[in-house]
Amino acid sequence: MYQRVIITAALAGAASFKDNNPAVPYTPEEFAEEAYKAHQAGAAMVHVHARRDDGFPTHEIDRIQVTYDAIRAKSPNLIVNLSSAVAMVPRLNNASPRLYPSNPKWPRSTPTP
């Protein structure tokens, strides 16, 4: 007897860059293309950490929306699971928290814009 499964493709990890894997998408167009390829290969869902054009994760709703729209336009039947890929880390001396990326190779002294 066959069991139905849902295959999810994670297109870009929260801390992966093109220097780790040249196929990691950054732009909405790259996400749309990689999502399309995953769907053609059998994925029913993609997990997306939206990125800025320089590859850094973003929580900016406008960028996430553009990325989502690009994926849906190219693969309308694909389920899209969105993630912001940023973490809250308190600053020293009890200052207010700032947004920092979760990749250990990034400097912790510089918050993401």
Q: Residue ranges per domain, the chain?
A: 8-100
Query: Is the distance from CB of 102 to CB of 93 less than 8 angstroms?
Result: no
Q: What's the pLDDT score for residue 13?
A: 77
pTM for this prediction: 0.73
Give backbone dihedrals phi and psi of 32, rounded to 5 degrees, phi first.
-60, -40
Q: In Å, how far are 7, 16, 26, 91, 93 from 22, measured between CA atoms? A: 22, 10, 10, 33, 39
Tokens linked to 94: 């009890």
- Check pLDDT > 80 for residue 82: yes
Model pLDDT for residues 13-66, shown as the tens digit of each residue: 777 889 888 999 999 999 999 999 999 999 999 999 999 999 988 888 999 999
